[in-house]
Amino acid sequence: MPRRKWSLLLQAGIAGLLLAACAPATVEDSATTSSEAMSASSSAEEAASGSSATEMRTFTLEELSQYNGKNGQPAYVAVDGVVYDVTNVEAWKDGEHKQGLTAGNELTEEITNQSPHGTKVLEGLPIVGELVE
């Protein structure tokens, strides 16, 4: 094989390796935006310092149900007493998850025991409050 063809093949192989190395490991990893990552970082810093830029609020199940992602409302879900904002998560478009779940609900059982990803998917999501009975 001529030297030029080897050179082109080598360059193409190196480019492919670089693209693979820079790509997210999973589709789920690519769903995290830089603003979500910054939000998670800010939340961690605020928790460590004991202060918060915005007060966490408490939600009853009735109040939570208003945050269903419909008609311009944010989409919130509660898991283990913590209320997460899933508004900007593609899998929760318009407050509906492709697995048949809907925002505005307490989903501990569904997320922890029935979903393939478990609570790991909640890491980095904005926490907006806590669920009270």
> Taking the complete model, does pTM exceed 0.85, yes or no?
no
So what's the pLDDT on residue 114? 84
* Same-domain check for residues 41 and 95: yes
What confidence tier does 31 reach under pLDDT thresholds 50, 70, 90? very low
Query: SS3 string of 18-65?
Result: HHHHHCCCCHHHHCCCHHHHHHHHHHHHHHHHCCCCCCCEEECHHHHC
What confidence tier does 11 reach under pLDDT thresholds 50, 70, 90? low
* Same-domain check for residues 49 and 98: yes
DSSP state of 102: B
pLDDT, one tens digit per residue, over 35-54 is 444 444 444 444 444 444 55
- Kindly state the average pLDDT of the residues 55-82: 95
User: How many Cβ atoms from other residues are within 10 Å of residue 7's Cβ?
Assistant: 10
* Same-domain check for residues 80 and 105: yes
Q: Which residues partner with 84 through β-bridges? A: 77, 127
So what's the pLDDT on residue 100? 87
- In terms of residue numbers, what domain contains 4? 1-26
* Same-domain check for residues 10 and 67: no
Cβ pair 59, 129 in contact under 8 A: yes
